[in-house]
A and B are shown apart, each in its own frame.
Chain A
Amino acid sequence: MIRFIGRRFLNILLSLFVLATLTFFLMQAVPGNPFLDEKTPKAAQEALKAFYGLDKPLWQQYLVYLGNIVQGDLGISYKTPGQTVTQIISQSFLYSAKLGIFAIIVSVIVGVALGMISAMYNRKLIDKFAVVISILGISIPNFVVASVTQYYIGAEWRWLPVSGLNSPLGYVLPTFALSALPIAFIARLTRSSMLEVLTADYIRTAKAKGMSPLRITLRHGLRNAILPVVTYLGPMSANIITGGVVVEKIYNVPGLGQFFTNSVTNRDYPLIMGITLFYAVILMFARFLADIGYAMVDPRMKKSSKGG
């Protein structure tokens, strides 16, 4: 097991190194420099480039950059020179993470509940209704959900704030936009695995013993049916937290998402690198944890790690 984890960990480090290298050279290959601007004279652009060491040969810049990341220094944002990349990422990620965690919790609770109800009333009207809802949730992109709910619920009917996270109510719409798809997905996962479980022998035994259907579903059904949802949780969490770019923009959440695109248009090299690596670390660790999870659950994995 420890060897498995160690190998996985080395893998991650290697991937990060390759990613950092590729991103570094790709971003430098894009035409236009960070200080290119209609109203900034060439001489001033050159002075700025020299100030940030961009006048040196690329390989030197690369080595300096690698040296800095190893020491945990991600540099200063070129666009907003008063802020370091670490500052920007830590401040804005807090917003993304807070909103993301709400969305994850809502997705799991609502998704599982919807899936269960669906399974319990299999092929009845309520099930068909739930299926339609989940198909809608999966097929409508989150930015459409965000724009439409903002316009109607926020601007037209004024039930909830249009944007911003200034009050608890402000979280409602963005959370909904972020969780619509995961809810639908979880509902479908839960429904199908629940249907499978409900035909199992021990459920029949429970039924024969005269337990109430609700109790059977909750106590015996859900426990077994929820496994696929748990495995989906890892990638889903990473996706929600890192994938809210458009939803964050629409709801004016000062999260990390905006910087992902802006840093590229601004050619803000340190910020591009910083965010790419940060997202990569999050995604890779989410998978890493999921892998360890599998390894612990799967008996074959246990055996092989004992044997090896």
Chain B
Amino acid sequence: MIAGGVLAACGDSNNGNAGNTGAANTGNENAAANNAGGEAAAPSGDQVFRMNLTSEPPTLDPALMQDNVSGTVADGIFEGLTKNDKNGETVPGMAESWEVSEDGKTYTFKIRSDSKWSSGNPVTAHDFEFSWKRTLDPNAAKPAPYAYQLYYIEGAEAYNTGKGDAAGVGVKALDDTTLEVKLVNPTTYFLSLVNFYTYYPVDKVTVEKDPNWANEAATFSSNGPFKLTQWEHNAKVVIERNENYYGQADVKLDKVDFAMMADSNTELNNFNTDQLDWAGKPTGTIPGPQIDKLRKENDPQLKITDAASSYYYIFNQSKKPFNNAKVRKALSMSIDRQLLIDRVVLEGQKPAFGFVPPSITGAEKSFREETQETYFSENVDEAKTLLAEGLKEEGMDSFPATTLIYNTSDKHAKIATAITEMWKQNLGIEVKTEVQEWKVFLDNRTNLKYDIARAGWGADYNDPMTFLDLYITGSGNNDIGYKNADYDKLIKDAYASADKAERVKLLAQAEKILIDDMAVMPVYYDTSSSLVKAYVKDAFMTYNGNINYNYAYISK
């Protein structure tokens, strides 16, 4: 899921740079206190929850979604085959049960028959088949930017790219309550995938009747705990309890009010004057200096969680001397990550010596716990030797003129300045820094027009694969020019494996290659910070720093 979309303008500039998450707090002592859920309290007072989206949701049609402002609203008004329970575990949602075939490639979902759309139509297996094929339709009214999220399904990619047809797509409603899904590979995390917004169903009857159904509250139909009741474009969104939802008993809020405040100081002032119950991540921002202040004051309203997101630097490996692993290692080993976090970023992140963040699950425990925590250590002397050797191997006498690019943000600027200063002090090399506007930056990065660049990646789903398949040869996200046949093979084997433990082993080997090569230079694992009023209970952050307010209640 995209970890961004924070300011409409910067909305885009923050899109996907999970690294932008403003957070503070050094330890995770706060993370424990993060879910107000543990406290037993009865709902009292107005059951209205107010939070800030920062900007207008670009769309509320799951097929067209690609940002987390839209996703934050969608997570309340839609429900997929599975959902998260109060502890963030994947549990049955619209599907009350399922069976998985021996080879792990065929899922048969039993759709519950006691839930209806807010329009009153029953939710059926046909809705799911219709919705997924609609998203994949190459001749859709508007192309779906995230259609590729469905490529796990057999025939999906072929249909979406015009090489196949709808009948070849492996999703089929056998009857009103039975949905059969055939996958390309045994995808061990498929059950958590179907909880992602691209997999949300839409109301077939409503959509077929009115192609513009998703543009206004009046014509909207959804199947989640809440329904859309007011959408004043660019001003506010209101969702209210959906009486047609099967899980009524779990829904305690009557209403969620989403504001669209673009200014982070305005958001904070509104929180402080009790006009908002939740500020900051995932869709808002707490001004950076304020986080540091709140942390020092030990403000109990400040909550900090892991965001399943990595902040790192990338090297253009099609360019000398960055094609040389020794040079890349030298740069990576000569910075002090903890110092950077404590003195510059000030948001309680964890220094990264691997690529997959700690909140990503492995076979049983977290992937980091099950594999190596660190793949290298910081060592200035070794870095110096490596740099000298690397440059010599490339036939260079000295480190060439190099520029580090990053996109507009105070935080990225501070980090870039600190890291280049560390390189200067420890290795005696000059690296210039250059700020670029988000889309210009992305354009340069994807086209390999850079030397060193900032990067950040937030998890799309809870599996190490969401990070590790970025850098296989030919991946659309391989913007570092990395090519390693061994690495590619490990990832391909992991795709094909239905055995969780074996997959983790394969992925760990792949990660080791990636970091041994220093194909990317990890800086830190990111956190998300938010301000939550004490009377808000059971609203929590998911593994990747998104909010779940579906079980929340107010206890004043």
> Interface residues, chain A, CB within 8 Å of chain B?
30-33, 35-45, 47-48, 51, 79-83, 87-88, 91-92, 147, 150-151, 154-155, 158, 161-164, 249-252, 254, 258, 261-262, 264-267
| Given pairs A39-B16, A83-B215, A250-B265, 16 additional interface contacts (CB within 8 A) | A30-B440, A32-B438, A32-B443, A36-B442, A38-B17, A42-B476, A47-B138, A48-B142, A51-B142, A51-B143, A80-B233, A249-B262, A249-B263, A252-B259, A258-B262, A265-B438
Query: 8 Å CB contacts to A: which residues of B449-501?
Result: 457, 460, 476-477
Cα distance A205–B2 in the bound complex, in angstroms: 77
Residue of B nearest to A40 (CB): B145
Stretch in B31-39, B56-64, B82-90, B379-387 touching the partner = B56-64
| B11: Cβ under 8 A from any A Cβ | yes
**Do the beta carbons of B12 and A265 come within 8 Å of each other?**
yes
B270 contact from A51, A163, A254, Cβ within 8 A: A163
Residues of A close to B11: CB separation below 8 A: 262, 265-266
List, in ascending order, chain A residues with CB within 8 A of B265's CB. Answer: 147, 150-151, 250
Task: Give chain B residues whose Cβ lies under 8 Å from the Cβ of A45.
Answer: 145
A33 to B11 Cα, complex, angstroms: 15
The answer for the CA separation of A91 and B10 in the assembled complex, in Å, is 22
Mask: chain B, 264-286; 1 = CB below 8 Å from A; 0 = not: 01100110110100000000000
Chain B interface residue bracket vs A: 35 or more
**CB of A146, distance to nearest CB on chain B (Å):** 10
- Our pick among A79, A154, A158, A250 for the contact of B263 (Cβ within 8 Å) is A250
Tell me whether B148 and A36 are in contact (CB under 8 A).
no
User: Contact at B10–A39, with CB atoms within 8 Å?
Assistant: no
- Which chain A residues border B261 with CB–CB below 8 Å? 163, 252
Closest residue of B by beta carbon distance from A35? B145
Of all chain A residues, the one with the shortest Cβ separation from B476 is A41
In the complex, B399 has a CB within 8 A of chain A:
no
For residue B25, CB closer than 8 A to chain A, the reply is no
CB pair B269–A162 under 8 Å, yes or no, is yes
Chain B residues with CB below 8 A from A32, complex form = 437-440, 442-443
- Complex alpha-carbon distance, A195 and B460, angstroms: 70
- C-alpha gap A265/B147 in the complex (Å): 24
Contacts known (A37-B66, A38-B442, A162-B275); A252 close to B212, Cβ less than 8 A: no
Pairs A-B, 6 closest by C-beta atoms: A32-B439, A38-B16, A82-B215, A254-B235, A262-B9, A155-B269
Q: Can you name the residue of chain B whose Cβ is closest to the Cβ of A43?
A: B161
Residues from chain B with a CB closer than 8 A to the CB of A161 are 275
- In angstroms, how far is the closest chain A Cβ from the Cβ of B231? 9
Query: Does B234 reach chain A (CB closer than 8 Å)?
Result: yes
Residues of B within 8 A of A38 (CB): 2, 15-17, 442, 457, 477
Please measure, in the bound complex, the distance between the C-alpha atom of A102 and the C-alpha atom of B307, giving whole angstroms: 44
Q: Within 8 Å of chain A (Cβ to Cβ): is B260?
A: yes
Asked if B193 is an interface residue, CB under 8 A from chain A, the answer is: no
Chain B residues, Cβ within 8 Å of A154 = 269, 273
Return 24 A-B CB contacts under 8 Å, by A number. Answer: A31-B444, A32-B438, A36-B443, A37-B12, A37-B16, A38-B2, A42-B476, A47-B143, A81-B64, A82-B214, A91-B233, A150-B266, A151-B265, A151-B269, A155-B269, A163-B261, A163-B270, A250-B263, A254-B232, A254-B260, A262-B11, A265-B12, A266-B8, A266-B9
Q: Contacts of A164 on B, CB cut-off 8 Å?
A: 259, 275
Which residues on B sit within 8 Å (CB–CB) of A33? 439
Establish whether residues B12 and A80, one from each chain, have CB atoms under 8 Å apart when the complex forms.
no
A residues near B190, Cβ cutoff 8 Å: none
Residues in A with CB closer than 8 Å to B145 are 35, 37, 40, 44-45, 48
In whole angstroms, how far apart are the Cα atoms of A224 and B204 in the complex?
70
Known A-B contacts A38-B17, A163-B261; A254 and B234 likewise in contact (beta carbons under 8 Å): yes
Other-chain residue from B143, B259, B262 in contact with A44 (beta carbon distance below 8 A): B143
For B438, what are the chain A residues with a Cβ–Cβ distance below 8 Å? 32, 265
Measured between beta carbons, the chain B residues less than 8 angstroms from A48 are: 142-143, 145
Residue B146 CB within 8 A of the other chain: yes
Specify the chain A residue showing the minimal Cβ separation from B456: A38
A40 contact from B146, B272, B443, Cβ within 8 A? B146
B59 is contacted by which of A80, A88, A158 (Cβ under 8 Å)? Answer: A80
Whether, in the assembled complex, B13 has its beta carbon less than 8 Å from a beta carbon of chain A, the answer is: yes
Cross-chain contact A150 with B269 (CB below 8 angstroms): yes
Q: Which of B275-323 contact A (CB under 8 A)?
A: 275
Chain A residue with the shortest CB-CB distance to B265 = A147
**How many angstroms from the CA of A153 to the CA of B56 in the assembled complex?**
28
A163, B232: Cα distance in complex, Å: 17
Q: Taking each of A38, A80, A83, A261, which has the highest tally of chain B beta carbons within 10 Å of its own beta carbon? A: A38
- Report A-chain residues with C-beta under 8 Å of the C-beta of B64: 81
B259:A31 contact, CB within 8 angstroms:
no
CA distance in complex: A266, B58 (Å) = 11
Chain A residue with the shortest CB-CB distance to B1: A39
Distance A204 CA – B262 CA, assembled complex (angstroms)? 57
> Which chain B residue lies CB-closest to A266?
B12
Instruction: Establish whether residues B15 and A37, one from each chain, have CB atoms under 8 Å apart when the complex forms.
Output: yes
CB-contact partner of B2 in A31, A39, A250, under 8 A = A39
How many Å lie between the Cα of A266 and that of B295 in the bound state?
34
Shortest CB-to-CB span from A134 to chain B, Å, is 28
Q: How far is the CA of A260 from the CA of B553 in the complex (A)?
A: 38
A79 touching B58, Cβ below 8 Å: yes
Q: How far is the CB of A169 from chain B (nearest CB, A)?
A: 13
Interface string of B416-442 (1 = CB under 8 A from A): 000000000000000000000111101
Q: Which B residues from 8 to 66 make CB contacts under 8 A with A?
A: 8-13, 15-17, 55-56, 58-59, 61, 64, 66
The residues of B that contact A44 with a CB separation of less than 8 Å are 143-148
Please, which residues of chain A bring their CB within 8 A of the CB of B10? 265
CA distance A40 to B270 in the complex (A): 34
Q: Which residues of A contact B12 (CB under 8 A)?
A: 37, 79, 265-266
Complex Cα distance, B66 from A37, in Å, reads: 9
Tell me the minimal C-beta distance from B450 to chain A in angstroms. 13
CA distance A266 to B269 in the complex (A): 27
Closest chain-B Cβ to A148's Cβ sits at a distance in Å of 11
Contact of B460 among A39, A47, A264 (CB under 8 A): A39
Residues of B within 8 A of A150 (CB): 265-266, 269
Q: Which of A51, A82, A258 is most buried by chain B, counting CB atoms within 10 A of its CB?
A: A82
Q: Please give, as numbers and ranges, the residues of chain A lying within 8 Å of B138 by CB-CB distance.
A: 47
- State the CA gap A41–B212 with chains docked (Å): 26
User: Max chain A CB contacts within 10 Å: which of B8, B59, B261?
Assistant: B8
A252 touches B275 (CB 8 A): no
Contact check, A155 vs B2: say whether CB atoms are below 8 A apart: no
- Give CA–CA (A155, B273) in the complex, Å: 6
- Asked whether A36 lies within 8 Å of B17 as measured between CB atoms, the reply is no
Taking the closest CB of chain A, its distance from the CB of B53, in whole angstroms, is 12
Q: How far, in Å, is B162 (CB) from chain A's closest CB?
A: 9
B215 touches A267 (CB 8 A): no
Which residue of the partner chain B has the closest CB to A256? Answer: B234
> Chain B residues near A83 (CB, 8 Å)?
215, 233
Q: Which chain A residues lie closer than 8 Å to B270 at the CB level?
A: 162-163
Nearest CB to that of B447 among chain A residues?
A: A31
A81-B59 contact, Cβ under 8 Å, with A35-B145, A51-B142: yes
By a CB distance below 8 angstroms, the chain B residues around A262 are: 8-9, 11, 55
The answer to whether B59 touches A82 (Cβ under 8 A) is: yes
How far is it, in angstroms, between the C-alpha of A91 and the C-alpha of B235 when the chains are bound?
10
